[in-house]
A and B are shown apart, each in its own frame.
Chain A
Amino acid sequence: MSRAHYWRVLAFFLLPAVLVYSAFSVYPLLATIVDSFYLRHPGAPETFNGLGNFYTLLGDTTWSKPFWNAFGNNCLFFLIHMVVQNPIGLALAALLSLPQLRLRNTYRTLIFMPTMLSVVVIGFVWQLILSPLWGVWKSFLVALHLGFLFGPYLGQEHTALLTISLISVWQFVGIPMILIYTALLAIPDELVDAATVDGLNQWQTFFHVKLPLIWPTIGLVSVLTFVNNFNAFDLVYVMEGALAGPNYSSDIMGTLFYRTFFGNQLQLGDKTMGSTIATMMFLFILVGVMIYLFLIQRRMQRYSF
């Protein structure tokens, strides 16, 4: 293969992806960052404002209070996913990979199903289930003599975000499950057999042989969760509207960005402040992913089969 031919082949395979990503990912991102350096004037062209928008966003309480409120809520949203969704995903994957399990594919499909449903459907269905007026959740709890646990979850400040987070966990638990399950399948039988010969039971085999081998996958799942959670918007918007009530208690970065950029009712959209919030979201995600790449991923030992 001549050198020129090599480059041609390389371009043939790389160009489509480069073009699509540049047009639909890289360019909009850069344009957003550029927009965040400009100031909007009603009825007049925008002017360059340097870091002014960032000073406003972080320094003026009118902006900073909602911003840090959304950031805090978003951290909680992410924490709930890390503490609830990923361990459950891991446990389900471990159960699925048990050799004597029957109906494995049925379970896998059922657990993965909500991930494929539209968020609008999920929001609607869960609102119906949890509705204090006609929901089944109330009768279900009453039948179990747990009626005192019922409340208008989506309308109380201390329960709204938690409820939405758990619905999101229910929706997306299939993704960590599938990823970890495939990693478990890739572990050679020889290792498991050797562990059995050495007298380890199922539990010990899982914790001492399988788990160390799937840490890289769990790391990947955590990063995916982080990126998705800090970009989340749709579920809160569907369940609580653009104002992310009650009293902004379910407001996350995505909904704050949406209100600012597109406006809501009488609030007119503000392109430059919206872009400033979007840029901050991008920076948070960038820093988070970099911490993972440089501090965690590099230390991981990979077992080469």
Chain B
Amino acid sequence: MLKSVTKIAALAALGVCAMAATASAGDLVIESWRNDDAAIWKDQIIPAFQKGHPGINVTFSPTAPKEYNAALNAKLEGGTAGDIITCRPFDASLELFNKGYLASVNDLPNMKNFSDVAKAAWTTDDNKTTFCVPMGAVIHGFIYNKDIFKELSLAEPKTEADFYAVLDKIKADGKYTPLVMGTKDQWEAATMGFQNIGPNYWHGEDGRKGLIDGTQKFTDAPYVDTFKALAKWGPYMGDGYKAQAYPDSQNLFGLGKGAIYAAGSWDISTFHAQNVNMGAFPPPVPAGAKDCYISDHTDIGIGMNAKGKNTADAKVFLDWIGSEEFANIFANALPGFYPLSNAKVEVKDEVAQSFVSWRGQCKSTIRDSYQILSRGTPNMENELWTVSANVINGTQTPEDAAKQIQDGLAKWYKPQQK
């Protein structure tokens, strides 16, 4: 009985969704994976847009991040996707453009507000066509609990030596987990571990471009050294970190049980909601390094469904996304996502402000597996998740991990076969 009731309810809901999908002109539906931000879109961003464009109704309709790519592809192929598509960076969106699902945004007036670097993640290989408006970047670093640092009289570490000294002190005290991160979900190990501290070793863009043009190999010192640094993390990561999932990490730090959290800047709002008194420091520089580098990753863009029913309104909306007004709303409504436009933006959140301030001190780079290098089989990003977790778990040596990635890349990527 209960089952049939839920079935009917589900069918009714489906019917409503179907009706929403076949909405009339003047309505826009946004496809997105940012289900965490649904409230902010509904309460802040969309109302701000509608103030200036009262005739256009916008609905934000997110999917869970894990399912987004698969669900979006299915919807596009079936012709039921919304008019506005939130774009993953690089190849996932490039493929959608090549298949004719995303339209060019070259002719939007506000595209002049973006630099080539900002547009790179959503531009064809020949640099001719941009197919999504760059929306935001995320920055990697470490968030720390100020109260715990005060209690144990610790200072923000600048170098790697400082970093381990601080971790040792927290560990010796024994009350808090020194470094909050888990390896169960694997992407944490790759994203907040490898891609977070790595740029300091491979010198940001130099290393990333070197891998792409074949002048550097993953078995070179910078990459092996990054894995070697990761291999030291395990003992600081608290009991049972091997079965600690990402939400566990968030809760551990959010509840004040951990001192330092390997972060992406998007975590800021999560911890604000839990009232953590926090600060942030950039990835500590290795001994002897002069410059610092940060992962300042072009993570999120927004484009339009080329086969959508309402392209005129979609263009109006996308152009507004490229405006200074949007950049300011976005930066302050979602602390931890940084607008990519050249517009003057004032970030009011203190922690988000400190992340973005590193752009002035260090050189920015993006995650090295994102452009071109994850196009073949085996998939480099997936492999990086796996080996980064293995290295931290101590089940694979740094040299082995680097060799596995290099061999996988050399299997299909011509510039690496020399």
Given the interface pairs A264-B382, A266-B374, the reply to whether A241 lies near B70 with Cβ below 8 Å is no
In the complex, A155 has a CB within 8 A of chain B: yes
B81 CB to closest chain A CB, in angstroms?
A: 15
For B97, give the chain A residue with the smallest CB separation: A43
For A65, give the chain B residue with the smallest CB separation: B378
B 76-115 binary contact with A (CB < 8 Å = 1; else 0) = 0000000000000011100100110000000000000000
B 380-394 binary contact with A (CB < 8 Å = 1; else 0) = 111001100110010
Q: Which A residues are CB-close (under 8 A) to B244?
A: 131-133, 152, 155
Assess whether A267 is in contact with B381, with CB atoms less than 8 Å apart.
yes
Assess whether B185 is in contact with A42, with CB atoms less than 8 Å apart.
no
In the complex, B239 has a CB within 8 A of chain A: yes
Assess whether B381 is in contact with A266, with CB atoms less than 8 Å apart.
yes
Q: Which A residues are CB-close (under 8 A) to B381?
A: 265-267
Tell me the bound Cα distance from A248 to B408 in angstroms. 16
Assess whether B186 is in contact with A246, with CB atoms less than 8 Å apart.
yes
Tell me the bound Cα distance from A53 to B228 in angstroms. 38
A266 CB to closest chain B CB, in angstroms?
A: 4
Among the listed B187, B245, B411, which residue makes an inter-chain contact with A265, where contact means beta carbons less than 8 Å apart? B187
Assess whether B95 is in contact with A42, with CB atoms less than 8 Å apart.
yes
Tell me the bound Cα distance from A153 to B240 in angstroms. 9
Assess whether B241 is in contact with A266, with CB atoms less than 8 Å apart.
no
A 235-277 binary contact with B (CB < 8 Å = 1; else 0) = 0000011110111100000000001001111111100000000
Assess whether A155 is in contact with B184, with CB atoms less than 8 Å apart.
yes
B 237-279 binary contact with A (CB < 8 Å = 1; else 0) = 0011111110010011000000000000000000000000000
Q: Which A residues are CB-close (under 8 A) to B182?
A: 155
Q: Which A residues are CB-close (under 8 A) to B385?
A: 243, 245, 265
Among the listed A151, A246, A267, which residue makes an inter-chain contact with B389, where contact means beta carbons less than 8 Å apart? A246
In the complex, B73 has a CB within 8 A of chain A: yes
Among the listed B69, B98, B243, B390, which residue makes an inter-chain contact with A132, where contact means beta carbons less than 8 Å apart? B243
Chain B interface size, as a band, is: 35 or more
Tell me the bound Cα distance from A254 to B184 in angstroms. 20
Assess whether A155 is in contact with B242, with CB atoms less than 8 Å apart.
yes
Chain A interface size, as a band, is: 20 to 34
Q: Which A residues are CB-close (under 8 A) to B418?
A: none
Assess whether B184 is in contact with A266, with CB atoms less than 8 Å apart.
no
Tell me the bound Cα distance from A151 to B250 in angstroms. 21
Tell me the bound Cα distance from A152 to B238 in angstroms. 12
In the complex, A76 has a CB within 8 A of chain B: no
For B71, give the chain A residue with the smallest CB separation: A262
In the complex, A193 has a CB within 8 A of chain B: no
Assess whether B395 is in contact with A43, with CB atoms less than 8 Å apart.
no
Assess whether B386 is in contact with A43, with CB atoms less than 8 Å apart.
no
Among the listed B69, B183, B184, B243, which residue makes an inter-chain contact with A262, where contact means beta carbons less than 8 Å apart? B69
A-facing residues in B165-198 (Cβ within 8 Å): 182-187
The 8 residue pairs across chains A and B that have the minimum distance between CB atoms: A132-B240, A155-B242, A152-B243, A155-B243, A267-B379, A266-B381, A266-B374, A262-B70
Q: What residues make up the interface of B, taking CB atoms closer than 8 Å to A?
A: 66, 69-70, 73, 90-92, 95, 98-99, 182-187, 239-245, 248, 251-252, 369-370, 374, 377-382, 385-386, 389-390, 393, 395-396, 408, 411
Beyond the given pairs A132-B241, A152-B240, A152-B241, 19 more chain A to chain B contacts, judged by CB atoms under 8 angstroms and listed by A's residue number, are A42-B98, A62-B377, A130-B243, A131-B243, A152-B184, A155-B182, A155-B393, A243-B186, A245-B385, A246-B242, A247-B390, A247-B396, A259-B382, A263-B70, A264-B69, A266-B90, A266-B369, A267-B374, A268-B95
Q: Can you offer 12 A-B residue contacts whose CB atoms are under 8 A? A: A62-B411, A132-B244, A152-B244, A155-B183, A155-B241, A240-B184, A242-B66, A245-B185, A245-B385, A262-B69, A264-B379, A266-B379
